[in-house]
């Protein structure tokens, strides 16, 4: 009986030491991962953002200027898409 009680006490310690994996933990992680100051996203990350928005063919036009530019195709039509690396905003030109 003492052995069972000792195992239960140890198991309860492990249960209390498990990190929170709920919604609150995800929120805390997002706060730590936020970019501050002069952090900019990379050209490759911006290209993936454009692709996730539904554009099929994404080719880099320029990533040297303050605003990244990409040639893209959506529904058979060609466009130029701009991405601001500081604010992560995306617009079509």
Query: Would you kindly state where each structural domain of the chain is located, as residue ranges?
Result: 38-93
* CATH code for residues 38-93: 3.10.450
pLDDT reported for residue 1: 75
pTM exceeding the 0.85 threshold for the entire prediction: no
- Least Cα distance to 72 among 87, 89, 60 occurs for 60
Check residues 1 and 32 and name the one with the higher pLDDT. Answer: 1
**pLDDT given for residue 3 in this prediction:** 75
Quick check: 40 and 86 in contact, CB under 8 A?
Answer: yes
Q: Please report the pLDDT score of residue 40 as a whole number.
A: 86
Q: Within 13 Å of residue 54, how many CA atoms lie on the same side as its CB? A: 6
Structural tokens at position 58: 């994404």
In angstroms, the CA 26 to CA 31 distance is 9
Residue 9 pLDDT level (bands cut at 50, 70, 90): confident
Please give the order of strands across the beta sheet that includes 68-74: 57-62, 68-74, 77-83, 90-92
| pLDDT at 23 exceeding the cut of 60 | no
CB 92 within 8 A of CB 85: no
CA 68 – CA 93 distance, rounded (Å): 12
pLDDT at 90 over 70: yes
């Amino acid at each position: 009986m003492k052995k069972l009680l000792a195992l239960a006490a140890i198991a309860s310690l492990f249960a209390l030491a498990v990190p929170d994996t709920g919604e609150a933990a995800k929120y805390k992680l997002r706060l730590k991962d936020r970019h501050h100051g002069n952090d900019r996203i990379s050209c490759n990350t911006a290209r993936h953002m454009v692709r996730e928005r539904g554009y099929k063919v994404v080719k880099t036009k320029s990533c040297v200027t303050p605003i990244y530019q990409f040639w893209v195709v959506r529904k058979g039509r060609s466009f130029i898409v701009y991405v601001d690396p500081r604010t992560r905003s995306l617009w079509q030109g």
